[in-house]
């Protein structure tokens, strides 16, 4: 009975973290429970708000101009433009100089390791010199043993996408003695030694050939990334930027670390390593969530208000098998066609119904049952566990997490 | 719906039974009730995101170590299809289990490592220096039983430069390390001398699993547990026990571990039958009893013991109002600033923040987290000559944060993390139970 807070947030990703921070603003005691280390460690680190509202070919210039085009039931229609702004404002406050993009509502166009250009609202400062709207000549540098990133191919791909600058790619040997299958993190750690940065600059220098900026995969240091990049820039005499890519993702790790620091200094209690597997309720109020502790009977964590931020189908906040789709902790209503052959389309990249599966919120972000009534008085949902958005196609995942996490946190602290 | 998919639908309906089982294997995290010694579902759950590799403290410093993903699911798959030997690099895994807490897909990495390591060690020459050394390190408790009979003599011999030279040259035990001194009176002797439990209770009764270290080396930790639980009205019995098996798992000495585990399960399950819960003061002991035993062994009572095993602070927070008791008490100036390191094994049990949460509310104590890195010693890993430098490199971040802390007292639940913390900084290292003892007893 002793473990008790005002608010329990379930899920340690972006939505859960900002939800907890938002709830803790006025001094409420908050516990964040995350099953594993944050999945942000796999994320690109880009904060997309809205890139492609209706699956179109061309990205929208200003996400705020396109919010009205979204289908009814979209999480943005619950929080509104002001909710999106509140979420971004909280994010800017938390991340400080780690991120840029807050000077404008318009999308920035960030080149990726695949040579695509991604519309995004906020991006790590380490990617700022790479923007596709900038017309400086670009050199992309890949490394022999890092087969995920093919610099010449990515450079060609960028040019084919019609960027307003010349782009070349070169593959070099990384100047440190790393095993052939070394992960990005080992490159990053190696670059935290000045001699590796010096050697890398010497390796890149002969290939510059007039390029005014140099892009490398996101591996320029882990804890001390700003200093590593500054050192490389001063040695090369040109701007250096990182390209976002898949897991393991150092920009994601850095963001997860920054969020954890913020949670810790806000006094949020963080429990990780244990999954929430159920709950106890009295009438229409949840009294505790139950946490699996190995072989034990699950342990209760008590609170007055709860936030569900467990992610979608990928994050496992929404579960499915061939019999149906469900929200596994509270069994909140997740509308879906009875016949599972209606969950998807035949075209691989079609607008699959499953992409929008999730819980349905009322206007206070409380998941509702099939009658439209709140499942519980004191449960709110945030992030990808919410249905109604095709986040992968829209490029809206982070924005939804920020906006709904911030609002859920605020409503929660107001309810206490 | 197209005709094709309809046909497919009809077809798959006939095989619902089989596919439902597959669906279970793919479920998020296998709940503990579905835990199995079959490693197949776990291996299939790996989607190669490399979260484990990037969280592995050994892989970060030892470039020869391929990382947990190879040691676990990949090696398991290699073994399935061809007659491949377990790769020697499995002996470089320190069993910190950080991979388990990193994996977003429920792959039982440490279970796979333990199993592979056991198989590798089975094939090792029993006369090799490495085998002999590892067997000695893994069975520290047996030697401690002998050494602690004459603690002063043993301490003298073990800290002797000649002994260290001999250990380094002949056995490959790092001579930089100081052997922990044996207490002049073991916890067991103290407990017997005081006449066993001071309280008898039908509804508040625990069996204390102290492990070898707090028995032979740090009896003040074990005494603190007894006094704290008695202060909350508990009957504390101390059953006969052997090593939890943690150092044996880490060295692939699964037969030694099996014998120890069988003894412990036998003794403890009898007490669980009588209504006692098992409480540990060491987070690796609680990890062994509640996770590794059921993953590796199936003696009668294994699950039952696992289901009733707790770490001490965890137990008091769940069953008593420890938070309330601490927030209403204070400790006078003896613990000005505690530099707390969370053991990796506490992490996997969801316990790595509890000391911080509790002591931040305790007057007279300031506590500072020294970061989320591994301490690097991982039980016996840092004792091996060839691993010593890696062990110290892993610990660098922790040492730096400890140096930055205001005080010169460290705090941790794990006895070998404590050794490493002391080794790197010269700080005195306390156990959270000792702080609680000062506050509530």
Mean pLDDT of chain A: 94
Please state, in angstroms and rounded to a whole number, the distance separating the CA atoms of residues B30 and B105.
Answer: 9
What is chain B's mean pLDDT, rounded? Answer: 88
**Domain boundary residue, one of B80, B95, B122:** B122
pLDDT(B18) > 60: no
Is residue B143 in a domain? no
Residue A296: closest CA among chain B residues belongs to which residue? B307
Question: Do A322 and B27 count as a contact with CB atoms less than 8 A apart?
Answer: no
Location of structure tokens 């085009």: A69
A321 closest CB neighbour out of B23, B31, B353: B23
Of A274 and B403, the structure prediction assigns the larger pLDDT to: B403
User: Residue A341: which of B1, B317, B321 has the nearest Cβ?
Assistant: B1
Cβ pair A247:B104 closer than 8 A: no
> For residue B256, which of B245, B241, B271 has the smallest C-alpha distance?
B245
Question: CA of B331, closest CA in chain A: separation in Å?
Answer: 21
B40 and B89 co-located in one domain:
yes
User: What percentage of chain B exceeds 90 in pLDDT?
Assistant: 70
CB B98 within 8 A of CB B62: no
Averaged pLDDT for residues B90-117: 92
Residue A360 or B25, more confident: A360
Supply B292's token pair: 């590794």
B372 and B433 assigned to the same domain:
yes
Domains of chain A: 7-37+52-84+254-259+267-415 (3.50.50.60), 113-243 (3.40.50)
Q: Which residue in the set A2, A177, A299 is minimally distant from B321, CB to CB?
A: A2
Q: Following CA atoms B140, B141, B142, B143 in sequence, which dihedral angle do they give, to the nearest 10 degrees?
A: 50
Query: What tokens does B86 get?
Result: 């377990």
Our CA angle for A74, A80, A83, nearest 5°, is 115
pLDDT of residue A315: 87
Is residue B310 located within the same domain as residue B230?
Answer: yes
Q: Burial letters for B31-70: b for 16+ Cβ neighbours within 10 Å, e otherwise?
A: ebeebeeebebbbebbeebbbbbbbbbbbbbbeebbbbbb
**How far, in Å, CA of B154 to CA of B179, rounded?**
10
Residue B156 maps to a domain: no
Q: Are B59 and B65 in contact (CB under 8 A)?
A: yes
For residues B117-123, average pLDDT: 93
Residue B173 within a domain: no
Q: Report whether pLDDT(B24) > 60.
A: no
**A–B CB contacts, 8 A cutoff, strictly below:** 131
Give the CATH number for residue B398: 3.40.50.1860
Got the DSSP string for B1-59?
--HHHHHHHHHHHTTHHHHHHHHHHTSSS--GGG--S--HHHHHH-----HHHHH-HHH
Do residues A303 and A404 touch, judged by C-beta distance below 8 A? no
Q: Is the pLDDT of residue A324 over 80?
A: yes
In this structure, is residue B377 part of a structural domain?
yes
Q: Which long-range contacts (CB under 8 A, 24 or more apart) does B1-8 make?
A: B1/A339, B1/A341, B1/A342, B2/A346, B5/A341, B5/A346, B6/A341
Beta-carbon separation of B294 and A295 below 8 A: yes
Whether residues B337 and B394 share a domain: the answer is: yes
Q: Are the CB atoms for B294 and B305 separated by under 8 Å?
A: no
> Is the pLDDT score of B12 beyond 50?
no
Give every CB contact of residue B145 below 8 A, 6+ residues apart in sequence.
B216
Residue B3 has pLDDT above 80, yes or no: no
- Domain identity same for B312 and B221: yes
Rounded to the nearest angstrom, the minimum Cα separation between A246 and chain B is 9
List phi, psi (to 5°) of A320: -145, 150
Task: Mark whether B363 and B408 lie in a shared domain.
Answer: yes
Provide the strand spans (E) within B281-380.
309-311, 337-340, 366-369
Averaged pLDDT, A370-398: 97
Ramachandran region of residue B195, left (φ > 0), alpha (ψ -120 to 50) or beta?
left
For B211-220, the pLDDT digits (tens) are: 999 999 999 9
Q: Is the pLDDT of residue B14 over 80?
A: no
Given an 8 Å threshold on Cβ–Cβ distance, is B16 in contact with A271? no
Q: How confident is the model at residue A56 (pLDDT cuts 50, 70, 90)?
A: confident
Whether B214 and B310 map to the same domain: the answer is: yes
Mean pLDDT is highest, among A368-372, B44-48, B64-68, for A368-372
pLDDT confidence bin for A26, thresholds 50/70/90: confident
* Distance of alpha carbon A78 from alpha carbon A80, whole angstroms: 6
CB contact under 8 A, B59 and A183: yes
What are the helix and strand counts (H, E) for chain B? Answer: 28, 8
Residue B79 lies in a domain: yes
- A108-157 pLDDT per residue, tens: 999 999 999 999 999 999 999 999 999 999 999 999 989 889 999 999 99
Distance from CA of B149 to the nearest CA of A (A): 37
Give the model's pLDDT for residue B333: 67
Q: Under an 8 A CB cutoff, do A274 and B350 touch?
A: yes
CB contact under 8 A, A2 and B16: no
Angle, vertex CA B172, rays to CA B166 and CA B177, nearest 5: 80
Classify strands A138-143 and A213-217 as parallel, antiparallel or unpaired: parallel
Instruction: Point out the residue among B28, B29, B63 whose CB comes nearest to the CB of A178.
Output: B63
Number of domains, chain B = 3
The minimum CA-CA distance between A9 and chain B, rounded to whole Å, is 15
B230 with B115, same domain: the answer is no
| CA–CA separation, A97 and A256 (whole Å) | 15
| Burial class for B165, CB neighbours closer than 10 Å (0-12, 13-18, 19+) | exposed
Neighboring chain A residues of B320 at a CB cutoff of 8 Å:
2
- Structural domain span for residue B69: 35-122
Q: In A, which residues are within 8 Å of B317 by CB distance?
A: 2-3
B33, two tokens: 């009730």
Structural tokens at position B229: 């639980």
Alpha helices in B103-253 (DSSP H): 109-122, 129-138, 140-147, 151-159, 161-166, 187-193, 211-216, 219-231, 246-250
Domain at B265, CATH number: 3.40.50
Task: Indicate the residue among B319, B339, B374 that finishes a domain.
Answer: B319
What is the percentage of chain B residues whose pLDDT exceeds 70?
91
Same domain, B106 and B202: no
3-state secondary structure of A88: helix
**Closest in A277, A295, A341 to B307, CB measured:** A295
Residues of chain A with Cβ-Cβ distance to B321 below 8 Å are 1-2
pLDDT digits (tens, 9 = 90+) for A90-111: 999 999 999 999 999 999 999 9
B308 in the same domain as B211? yes
pLDDT surpasses 50 at B346: yes
Domain closes at, from B288, B319, B350: B319
Do A341 and B369 lie within an 8 Å CB cutoff? no
Residue B1 pLDDT > 70? no
User: Is the confidence at residue B19, as pLDDT, over 50?
Assistant: no
Peptide bond into B179 cis (omega under 30): no
pLDDT tens profile B146-196? 888 888 888 888 888 888 888 888 889 999 998 889 999 999 999 999 999
Same domain, B246 and B342: no
ipTM of the complex: 0.87
Identify which of A253, A292, A299 has the shortest CB distance to residue B31. A292
CB contact under 8 A, A36 and B23: no
Cβ-defined contact of A2 to B318 (cutoff 8 Å): yes
Q: Note whether residue B152 is domain-resident.
A: no
| Residue to substitute from B4, B28, B59, interface A, most A β-carbons within 10 A | B28
Residue B75's CATH number: 1.10.1060.10
Are the Cβ atoms of B49 and A37 closer than 8 angstroms? no
Residue of B nearest to A300 (CA): B318
Question: Same domain for B42 and B118?
Answer: yes
- Express as a percent the part of chain A with pLDDT over 70: 99
| Residues listed for chain A | 416
Of chain A, the percentage scoring pLDDT greater than 90 comes to 85
How far apart, in whole angstroms, are the C-alpha atoms of residue A254 and residue A98?
A: 9
């Amino acid at each position: 009975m002793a473990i008790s807070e005002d608010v329990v947030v379930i899920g340690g990703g972006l939505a859960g973290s900002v939800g907890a921070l938002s709830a803790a603003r006025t001094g409420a005691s908050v516990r964040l429970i995350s099953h594993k280390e944050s999945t942000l460690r796999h994320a690109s680190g880009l904060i997309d708000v809205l890139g492609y509202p209706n699956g179109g070919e061309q990205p929208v210039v200003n996400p705020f101009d396109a919010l009205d085009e979204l289908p009814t039931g979209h999480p943005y229609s619950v929080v509104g433009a002001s909710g999106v702004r509140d979420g971004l404002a909280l994010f800017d406050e938390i991340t400080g100089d780690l991120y840029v993009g807050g000077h404008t509502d318009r999308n920035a166009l960030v080149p990726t390791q695949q040579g695509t250009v991604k519309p995004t609202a906020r991006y790590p400062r380490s990617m700022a010199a790479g923007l596709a709207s900038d017309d400086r000549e670009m050199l992309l540098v890949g490394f022999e043993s890092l087969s995920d990133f093919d610099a010449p191919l990515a450079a060609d791909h960028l040019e084919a996408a019609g960027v307003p600058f010349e782009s070349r790619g070169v593959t070099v040997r990384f100047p440190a003695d790393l095993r052939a299958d070394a992960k990005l993190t080992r490159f990053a750690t190696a670059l935290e030694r000045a001699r590796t940065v010096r050697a890398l600059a010497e390796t890149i220098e002969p290939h510059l050939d007039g390029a005014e900026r140099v892009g490398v995969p996101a591996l320029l240091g882990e804890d001390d990334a700003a200093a590593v990049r500054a050192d490389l820039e001063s040695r090369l005499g040109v701007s250096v930027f990182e390209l976002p890519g898949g897991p393991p993702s150092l920009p994601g790790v850095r963001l997860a670390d920054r969020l954890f620091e913020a949670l810790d200094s806000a006094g949020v209690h963080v429990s990780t390593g244990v999954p929430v597997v159920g709950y106890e309720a009295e009438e229409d109020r949840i009294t505790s969530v139950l946490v699996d502790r190995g072989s034990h009977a699950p342990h209760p964590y008590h609170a007055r208000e709860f936030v569900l931020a467990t992610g979608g189908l990928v994050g496992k906040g929404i579960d499915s098998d061939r019999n149906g789709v469900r929200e596994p902790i509270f069994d909140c209503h997740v509308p879906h066609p009875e016949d599972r052959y209606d969950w998807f389309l035949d075209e691989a990249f079609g607008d699959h119904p499953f992409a929008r599966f999730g819980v349905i919120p009322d206007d206070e972000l409380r998941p509702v049952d099939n009658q439209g009534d709140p499942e519980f008085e004191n449960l709110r949902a945030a992030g990808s566990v919410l249905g109604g958005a095709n986040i992968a196609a829209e490029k809206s995942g982070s924005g939804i997490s920020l906006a709904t996490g911030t609002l859920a946190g605020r409503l929660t602290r107001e309810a206490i | 719906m197209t005709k094709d998919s309809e046909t497919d639908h009809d077809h798959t309906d006939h095989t619902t039974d089989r596919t439902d089982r597959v669906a279970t294997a793919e479920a998020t995290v296998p709940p503990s009730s579905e835990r199995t010694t079959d490693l197949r579902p776990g291996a299939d759950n790996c989607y190669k995101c490399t979260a484990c590799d990037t969280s592995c403290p050994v892989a970060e410093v030892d470039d020869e170590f391929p990382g947990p993903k190879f040691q676990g699911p990949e090696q398991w798959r290699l073994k399935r299809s061809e007659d491949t030997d377990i790769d020697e690099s499995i002996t470089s895994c320190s069993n910190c289990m950080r991979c388990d807490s990193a994996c977003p897909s429920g792959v039982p990495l440490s279970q796979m490592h333990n199993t592979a390591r056991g198989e590798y060690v089975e094939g090792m020459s029993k006369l090799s220096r490495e085998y002999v050394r590892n067997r000695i390190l893994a069975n520290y408790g047996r030697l401690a039983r002998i050494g602690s009979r004459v603690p002063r003599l043993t301490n003298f011999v073990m800290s002797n430069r000649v002994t260290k030279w001999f250990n380094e040259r002949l056995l490959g035990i790092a001579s930089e390390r100081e052997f922990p001194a044996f207490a002049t009176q073991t916890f067991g002797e103290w407990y017997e001398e005081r006449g066993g439990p001071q309280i008898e209770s039908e509804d508040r009764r625990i069996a204390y699993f102290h492990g070898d270290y707090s028995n032979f080396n740090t009896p003040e930790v074990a005494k603190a547990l007894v006094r704290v639980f008695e202060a909350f009205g508990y009957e504390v019995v101390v059953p006969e026990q052997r090593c939890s098996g943690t150092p044996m798992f880490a060295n692939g000495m699964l037969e030694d571990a099996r014998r120890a585990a069988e003894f412990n399960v036998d003794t403890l399950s009898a007490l669980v039958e009588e209504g006692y819960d098992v409480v540990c003061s060491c987070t690796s002991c609680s990890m062994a009893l509640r996770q590794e035993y059921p993953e590796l062994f199936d003696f009668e009572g294994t699950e039952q013991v696992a289901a009733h095993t707790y770490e001490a602070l965890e137990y008091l927070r769940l069953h008593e109002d420890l938070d309330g008791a601490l927030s209403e008490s204070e400790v006078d100036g003896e613990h000005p600033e505690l530099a707390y390191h969370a053991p990796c094994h506490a992490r996997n049990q969801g316990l790595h923040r509890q000391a911080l949460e509790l002591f931040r509310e305790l007057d007279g104590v300031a506590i500072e987290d020294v970061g989320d890195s591994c301490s690097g010693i991982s039980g016996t890993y840092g004792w091996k000559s060839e691993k010593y430098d890696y062990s110290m490199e892993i610990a660098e971040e922790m040492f730096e944060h400890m140096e930055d802390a205001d005080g010169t007292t460290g705090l941790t639940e794990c006895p070998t993390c404590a050794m490493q913390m002391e080794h790197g900084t010269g700080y005195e290292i306390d156990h959270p139970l000792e702080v609680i003892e000062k506050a509530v007893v």
